[in-house]
Amino acid sequence: MLKFVHQAIRDIRTTGSVFPSSPALAKAMTRSLRNHRGEKKILEVGPGTGPFTSAILAALRGHDSFDIVEVNEVFCAHLEHRLLKDYRAHHPSISVKLHAMPIEQAPLEGGYDFVICGLPFNNFPLALTQSIFNQLLALMRDGGEMTYFEYAGMRTIKRPFIGASGRDHIRRLEAFRQSTSKAHIVTKRLVVANFPPAHAMRIIKRQGV
């Protein structure tokens, strides 16, 4: 917790919150992959200290593969020391790779069944959000699922305090999300047992889109 808070205070733009996600949100974010039967290929982007990573690792079986992309070096060291090193030693048949770099630079082959994203898109410029969204969707197989989360009501709370340019950014962001909803299948699940409460947003990639 303290490690996450310290890094969040240093760079709230890329961390997005001063509190790590709850086990309840981690459960909602990983629900589909936990219920999946057969081998699966998973990508996690922006894991922070690993609340979603722990849930993903617990769901891996057989010859599954799991790629993790995290830009923060402190978080990478934490993940490697606390979670990944021992997991690899006890599960040699499962491929678990940590890429300490931005998602735009990560050498990923694609074909993912599941993408779990913890990036704070509301803090990013619209062009960067669009670029990352499109990259993640391109890395997924048809019918694959991407899950990310948004804090409930946060854009409404922000509106009176962010000025005209900030409100314009929110409108553009909402328009982009609506276009994504039309192109793919999008559902959301409210998780109140998180601080703040959050929506787990799930995108199922349509064939040929």
Would you write out the chain's pLDDT as a tens digit for each of its 209 residues?
Answer: 444 444 444 444 444 454 789 999 999 999 999 999 999 999 999 999 999 999 999 999 999 999 999 999 999 999 999 999 999 999 999 999 999 999 999 999 999 999 999 998 888 899 999 999 999 999 999 999 999 999 987 777 777 777 888 888 888 988 998 899 889 999 999 999 999 999 999 999 998 77
In terms of DSSP bridges, do strands 185-191 and 140-151 run parallel, antiparallel, or are they unpaired? unpaired
Q: How far is CA 61 from CA 91, 93, 179, in A?
A: 9, 9, 35
pTM of the model: 0.88
Quote the tokens at residue 133.
Answer: 């969204």
Contact 65, 94 (CB under 8 A): yes
55 vs 4, 83, 158, 170, 171, CA distance in Å? 18, 11, 31, 31, 33
